[in-house]
Amino acid sequence: MRFIVVVGSTRTAAIDGISAAGADPELMRHTPAADAEIVEYGRPISALKMPVSPTGCPTPAVVTRAVHELVRPDVLVVDAGLETPTVAPTTVVGTEPGADIRDSEPVPQANDVFETARELGRNLPDDELIIGESIPGGTTTALGVLAALGEPYGVSSSLPENPLELKRSVVSTALSESGLERSDAAGEPTLAVEKMGDPVLAAVSGLATGTVEAGGSVTLAGGTQMVAAGALLRHFGIQTPLELATTSFVATDETSDIESAARALDFDLTVTNPEFDRSTHPAMEGYSRGEAKEGVGMGGALLLAAREGIPMDEIRAQSERRYDSLVDNNGS
């Protein structure tokens, strides 16, 4: 088993009010690079500060890293196209961030990224991948891809109040700028990513495709972005079982309807509740307010911890320790 985090950027994240994956728009640009460093080193290095939401909710990378410290899985960060460089070790499958999906073709490199990631997935020595992601703005591009594929599911949000009307309006503009009607890319996953997606979706679907082709199994670790990745796989013609591992924060989000998506797309859904409401620690408070919810493979990390028999209170304690060391590191 290998735990993979695919990182990348889309300029869609710069649309005002669309994402909480950073304290402000400038810091948000660094979030995926910093998440990669937290996963690999336990703390951000190139970006210096731990990514937090505008109200201070820490990145789910803290929880994923805490689980990794307890379980020590093999880890691989895949760079699908970062806007700011990272000093985390990465395997690069794409070098360009995605443009704003309201451009006519925001991800012209989608097929190259998909094929490079597919080749990597075919060749990795592992019989199982757990694949998470970090890309601010990713739920909006996920909504765009779902629309292009003609899949009717909604998406979740890193914000407590999902700006779903804004996302729908962005997707609507993006479809028309791309010359697409809803469902026009059904059965054409590469087109859907080129016109409406982001580099991370291209890389996740490529990695998963290659792994399945080599006889391995895949757990998509995340929320509605991973629903979009899984939908891309189904539209690519992949019919093998796919696991989807997410958190209770996504599953109870009414705007996401992840359970019906999983049923319709034939994903085996695992929802894990980390019971953060049992803690009043600042690492977890934001989640109880409905912030962040998922990301950086958090749901997959919680699944992995459960498999290894690690009690949830140990994960919470380790997450608190990791957060505290990061806050000290932030100098705050």
Contacts with its own copies, residue ranges (CB under 8 A)? 41-43, 45, 72, 76-77, 87-91, 120, 123-125
CB of 89 to its own copies, least distance (A): 4
Share of the chain residues as helix, strand and coil, in percent rounded to the nearest 5: 45, 15, 40
Write down the least CB distance from residue 328 to its own copies, Å. 12
Cβ contact 36:77 at 8 Å: yes
Residue 151, token pair as written in the block? 């899949």
Question: Phi/psi zone of residue 212: left (φ > 0), alpha (ψ -120 to 50 degrees), beta?
Answer: alpha
- Could you please report the per-residue DSSP string of 139-188? HHHHHHHHHHHT-------SSSS--HHHHHHHHHHHHHHTT--TTTTTT-
Query: Is 296 within 8 Å of 200 (Cβ atoms)?
Result: no
Task: Work out the angle between the directed axes of helices 199-213 and 110-123 (0-180°, nearest 10).
Answer: 30
Q: How far is the CB of 76 from its own copies (least distance, A)?
A: 6
Least distance in Å: CB of 185 to its own copies?
29
Nearer to its own copies, 240 or 325 (CB): 325
Q: Which is nearer to its own copies, 47 or 250 (CB)?
A: 47
For its own copies, the closer CB: 42 or 137:
42
Q: Which of residues 120 and 130 has its CB atom nearest to its own copies in the complex?
A: 120
Residue with Cβ nearer its own copies (44 or 106): 44
The sign of the dihedral angle between the CA atoms of 117, 122, 124, 127 is positive
Taking the complex as a whole, the smallest distance from the CB of residue 3 to its own copies amounts, in Å, to 12
